[in-house]
Structure 1
Amino acid sequence: MKKILIAFIIFGGFTLNGCTKFLDLPPKNQRAVTTLNDVKSVLSGYLDAFARTNTRPIVGPIPIVTEEHNMMFESYADNIDFVANLNRYIAPNNTKNEQFYANKFLFNDIATTDAIWNTHYQAIGFLNALIDQCDELVEADSEELRRVKGEMLVHRAYYIFKLQQYFAPMNKEELGIPLYLHTGKEVVGIRMMRKRSSEIYDVLTGDLKVALQYYKEVGPNSGYSRFFNDRYIQNLLAQVYWFKAESASKQNEDYQFAKEYALGAIEGVDGYIPKTTLEFQTVQKNRNPDYPAFYQESIAFGSVGPIYGSNLDYIGFSPNNLKVSTDFHSSFDATDIRLSAYFTGTNISSNWPDGLTPVQKYIRIHLFAPEEAYLILAEAYHRLGETDLALGVLNKFKSFRGASQKSGLSGQTLLDEIIKERRKEFFGDTDKRWLDLKRYANVTIDRRFTFFGKTYAVKVEPNSSYYALPIPLSELQENPDLIPNEGWNPIIF
């Protein structure tokens, strides 16, 4: 039997740079993983961060979308009026300096981009090793083995999907991410080139369907499983097919699959979706144990305050009284429960996102939320020509939020309303608005700022190169086979 020697992955992996090194993990050091219990023991050091708040995993980012990650993507989007708010961000009573905001607002946050690349590939390499070992455990309990392997397949698919969304252009099939799914002696010397995007999507859908089949066969281990959940797996499959359907890898059946899996993800959830502002905020602070999504939060309160408003704004700290874009604020009906959750007047509320005072400003993440599946379903029906069903799902969703019902919508007008609903629902939610801008290619961002006494202009048009994040320079230097993403010229202030 092949043995995976895991200490190298856990202890040495943090010092490495480059996806080649994270994905190509030849065995070193001493600890052998030879049984299913060994695999579960090592994996638990990673899964612990998904079971308890404020626990750091042995590998990968914590939370799975970090504070810097969230703030970068919101800064690269169009919800907040950063130009109008600049004097509130760069103020004497703000703990963040001018450099922080210059990097965020001018699409120059290279440190965060590098961290995403490295931590995501690090987690993939770790999971590769354990998945490989699962395939060697022929004498293990077959049901528990499928549970453990299924868990890892879903986690690995999540990281692969995010890397593909972030670093692969939408319209260039040949420029998918580099990927290899094994570890050990068989991959020594492999050339880590960019895959075709369709190959990446085949891996994602294939692995997630295997995990879903495992779930149907054996069900979860309730004390151990985290992502190994049929609703979560179907939600992620719906996301993958939905995103793929507008990419260069699109296939005729993508929206049909997105519809199928979105329907599976929302089955029986209507009673758990919040329908008042209080219920909405209760979900945001994870006080509703029946809400059917996976929750994580950041390690320290105030962690996203530099972009969304200081958690100490009630005693005068900046930034405070932040304005969002006029078109965004005006898109909310007066009866919409999200209006009072997000805003005080036209400013971002001090109590956003959870209604707590003094405000906590945690990263609050709900992965695989049913609301996302609902809006994917509405768009899938629309794209498949099932207009009445699309409008019915959209209006049902609006009813959850107290928003006005729509009638007579079809074609682009209906799609625009679905996109608008996504923007309202997912304000400040991880990477969603930036990914929508990338996928729908329907907005131009045009900014002009003065930083350090010099004026800078940045214009991000639909399908811009800014929607494929820059591959880390260290990666390009170490991997001559890797084609860089075009258009990124780091600013040195």
Structure 2
Amino acid sequence: MKRGWIIMCILVFGIVGCKDFLNLVPKNKRVVANLEDVKTELLTYLAAITYSTGGLSPSYGGSVFRFPLYNDVATQLCLYEDDMNMSYYSDHSSIEEKAMNVYTECIDWKGVSLASVLWEKCYGAIGFLNVILDDLEKAGGYTQAEYETITGEVKTIRAYYIFKLLQFFAPYNSDKLGIPLNLDSENVIPGGRLSQREVYRIVIRELEDVLEYETVREKWNIFYYPGIVKAILAQVYMFKAGSAAAEESDWANAEKYSGELIAGYEPENREDILFNMFSGTVREYQVGGANYQLRMTYRISCGFGDIFSGIWAEGKAQRVSNELLDMYDEEDIRREAWFKTEEEEGRTIHYINKPGYTRSINEVTVLFRTAEMYLINAEAKCRQNRVAEAKDMLETFKRARIIGFENYSGEDVLGEILNERRKEFCYEAGTRWVDMKRLGIGTSRVGMSKEGEGTEVYELKSDDYRYALPIPNGVELDYNNKIEQNPGWGNLN
């Protein structure tokens, strides 16, 4: 991660929630000298990930800031999952060549460009966040409240990106193959991979430190919020629990942090609530809502996942996989909330409508949903052999989602909880993909042939090497000779 200048547009801008924090002074390059400059650095980053549209293009080390799981990336992760009918992807007359190129990369789970973008955006942001923390220490002159609101925001975002890198790039069953990580902005010497246990310790320590802060979040804060920190910790412990870095206390900790977020929560039981959670008409981010800890909606110019071609774009929506659709009961409110139907030649075709597209918003990112915390808690109880408690939670959840549902009569409570996870979090920023990875799910699908006309069957094994994305050659391997490519990928040149 190389230190670089922050390049900013020559204009004063505002952002919902952030405009109360600071008015950005127009400059081409930023030289940090005091606390106000540090605040400007942080505001610049927050603006870039929530309001990136014409004119504002801050960058660091050659990487233009974007939220790493922005719509194009989220769409490609959907192509990796088993919830889309890949046979009909090109079934739109206006689908673009770029979209077909991405399909060709992703159909056999070899999306090198997906890996490059995730690597660049996560590490680029981590490098810049390192700079903010170091600049804050150098600037000094801050109050405890200023220190905690700034470092709380930065450490939480940074920990989340580090966790995402682990999920996407670290082989699940090899502790020694973690990720390279540098938290010192002055150190530009390339380093080798840390073990997954070492990386998890850093992530958990940072988040637990933030939880001890006493300062109440400011209006401009996005990630600095106890609910968000606890939600990330719940996700971390759940994913870690089945990995090579697992520890005996993981499921207990997943239960603890998720449990603190679902006190008083009643699962949503109305179709309009579920639909509106993934639609938007104004640019905004909402923190600490009843149904989620963080929701961001904004309009941005994308090349793949937006109105021009994406899986949910108006007039170009993709088909849901038959396997997923068949999992829903006919009276499940999610069928109407997240899918739309059309009659074609006497057949009913189900298309993806999550998030719900609007002309004013083409990015809807809902992170850390309360429903996920609920199902993490139920799974954690089940994994700790408290099946009766987990079954009660499962039945409460299903009664909210399925009209007329009474009791679960099956014997596989854990399996049914996992089924609910799949039905609930389909098409949400790679959630299903990382579940497939941690659960060791093998799958096969029919898609267009990479070699020409016709179709082909593509298979992903339960322990497939492709569950760890390739480390980009030009971005990292050519620069850092202390790390090697993930097993199975060979030479990508």
Q: 1:39 to 1:377 in 2, by over 3 A?
A: same
Spell out, residue by residue over 1:46-90, the C-alpha distance to the aligned partner (whole angstroms, 9 max, x if none). Answer: 11245657585634653441222112111111111213x1551xx
Identify the residue that residue 425 of structure 1 maps to in structure 2. 424
| 1:437-478 residue CA offsets vs partner (Å, 9 max, x unmatched) | 101013323445324526765321112001000000111122
Which residue does 1:257 correspond to in 2? 253
Aligned pairs for 1:90-129 within 5 A: 92-96=93-97, 98-129=100-131
Please name the residue that 1:277 is paired with: 271
- Tell me which residue corresponds to 1:460: 460
Partner of 1:481: 482
Residue in structure 1 matching 2:169, options 163, 167, 175: 167
- Report the 3-state secondary structure (helix = DSSP H, G, I; strand = E; otherwise coil) of the residue aligned with 1:396: helix
Q: Secondary structure at the match of 2:212?
A: helix
Structure 2 regions of 5+ residues with no counterpart?
Answer: 9-27, 342-347
For residues 251 and 171 of structure 2, what CA distance do their matches in structure 1 show?
20
In the aligned structure 2, how far is the partner of 1:235 from the partner of 1:386?
A: 22
In 2, Cα distance between the equivalents of 1:472 and 1:391?
43
Alignment length (residue pairs): 449
Aligned to 1:266, the other structure's residue is in SS state coil
User: Under a length normalisation based on structure 2, what TM-score does the superposition of the two structures give?
Assistant: 0.83
Question: CA offset at residue 204 of structure 1?
Answer: 0.6
Any idea what SS the aligned residue of 2:478 has?
A: helix
1:66-105 map, 5 Å: 66-83=70-87, 85-86=88-89, 88=91, 92-96=93-97, 98-105=100-107
Say if 1:79 and 1:490 are closer, same or farther in 2 by CA, change over 3 A: farther
Q: Secondary structure at the match of 2:120?
A: helix
Q: Does 1:247 align with 2:243?
A: yes
Percent identity of the aligned residues? 29
State the AA in 1 paired with 2:95. N
Q: Secondary structure at the match of 2:260?
A: helix
Please give the alpha-carbon distance, in whole angstroms, between the structure 2 residues aligned to 1:366 and 1:198: 28
* Higher helix residue share: 1
Give the match's secondary structure for 1:458.
Answer: strand
Quote the residue 2:14 is aligned against.
none
Instruction: Note the C-alpha offset of 1:427.
Output: 1.5
Kept after mapping to 2: 8 A contact 1:391/1:409: no
Residues 167, 491 of structure 1: CA spacing in aligned structure 2 closer, same or farther, 3 A cutoff? Answer: closer
- Aligned equivalents of 2:321, 2:50: Cα separation in 1: 37
Which residue in the other structure is 2:43 paired with? 44
Which runs of 5 or more residues in structure 1 are unaligned?
Answer: 13-28, 314-318
Match of 2:311 in 1: 308
Distance across 2 between alignment mates of 1:452 and 1:132: 50
How far off is 1:268 after superposition? 4.0
Specify whether residues 99 and 350 from structure 1 end up closer, same or farther in structure 2 by C-alpha distance, changes over 3 A only: closer
Partner of 1:149: 151
Classify the secondary structure of the residue corresponding to 1:265: coil
TM-superposed deviation, 1:177: 0.7
1:263–1:50 CA distance, 2 compared to 1 (3 A): farther
**Residues 220-241 of structure 1: CA deviation (Å, up to 9, x unaligned):** 12x2211111111100110001
Native 8 Å contact 1:303 1:361 kept in 2: no
Query: Contact (CA 8 Å) 1:36, 1:145: kept in 2 or not?
Result: no
User: Counterpart in 2 of 1:266?
Assistant: 262
Separation of aligned partners in 2, 1:368 and 1:198? 23
Tell whether 2:217 aligns with 1:220: yes
- Secondary structure at 1:220's aligned position in 2? coil
Greater shift, 147-156 or 454-463, is seen at 454-463
Query: Alpha carbons of 1:307 and 1:347: their partners in 2 closer, same or farther (altered >3 Å)?
Result: farther
Maintained 8 Å contact 1:281/1:355: no
1:361-380 to 2 correspondences below 5 Å? 362-380=362-380
Cα distance in structure 1, aligned partners of 2:106 and 2:441: 22
Deviations 1:318-365 (A, max 9, x none): x45x43222211111122111112334563447543276xx7883311
* SS of residue in 1 equivalent to 2:422: helix
Matching residue's letter, 1:168 = A
Partner of 1:158: 160
Distance 1:174 1:415, change over 3 A: same
SS in 1 for 2:471: coil
**1:17 maps to which residue?**
none
Q: 1:405 to 1:171 in 2, by over 3 A?
A: farther
Question: Pick from 302, 320, 327: which aligns with 1:331?
Answer: 327
Residue deviations 1:295-333 (CA, integer Å, cap 9, x gap): 22351587177352541x2xxxxx45x432222111111
